[in-house]
Amino acid sequence: MHQRRKAREVALQVLYAIDVLHIDAKEAITLFWNNFQATEDSRKFSTLLIEGAWDNRDQIDDLIRSCSENWSLERMSRVDRNILRMAVYELLYCPTIPPKVTLNEAIDIGKMYGSENSGSFINGILDAVYLKLYTESTKQDVNGSNNS
């Protein structure tokens, strides 16, 4: 699991760079790996998170916006915003990763790299995102089983 944590930290750094520098995701990934080393598994997982979060950011950002009362996405710190993007990507597209792991990792990374309030801020939004996704999933399951 330590490799996955490192991969998430790398993903945050690259997503932050993309957000600040307005460069292509593949270019940012290449720049990062030209200067740093990691295991092949860490590289693959971080690349999955970076490309997935960035390529799906419109859908992800809409979901974050719908769950963040009184906070526009643009007002969020870049660190918090990109941790949220990465975590929401995992919740939506990585079904083999338990949601609890995704939430805990995002909160811990927020505490390490964000402000003193980042952990609780990220926790609140991700709890709302997870609840919304779980509620929608449960409704679909119930509706699907009623039609059988």
Domain coordinates in residue numbering, the chain: 2-140
pLDDT of residue 148: 41
Per-residue pLDDT of the chain (148 residues; tens, 9 = 90+): 589 999 999 999 999 999 999 999 999 999 999 999 999 999 999 999 999 999 999 999 999 999 998 889 999 999 999 999 999 999 999 999 999 999 999 999 999 999 999 999 999 999 999 999 988 766 666 556 544 4
CB of 114 within 8 A of CB of 122? Answer: yes
CATH T-level fold of 2-140: N-utilizing Substance Protein B Homolog; Chain A (1.10.940)
Q: What's the rounded Cα separation, in Å, for the pair 14 and 26?
A: 10
pLDDT value at residue 36: 94
Q: Which of 89, 81, 83, 40 has its CA nearest to residue 60? A: 89
pLDDT for 138:
67
Give pLDDT, residue 68.
Answer: 93
Q: What is the DSSP string of 48-115?
A: HHHHHHHHTHHHHHHHHHHT-TT--GGGS-HHHHHHHHHHHHHHHH-TTS-HHHHHHHHHHHHHHHS-
- Position 57: which residue type? R
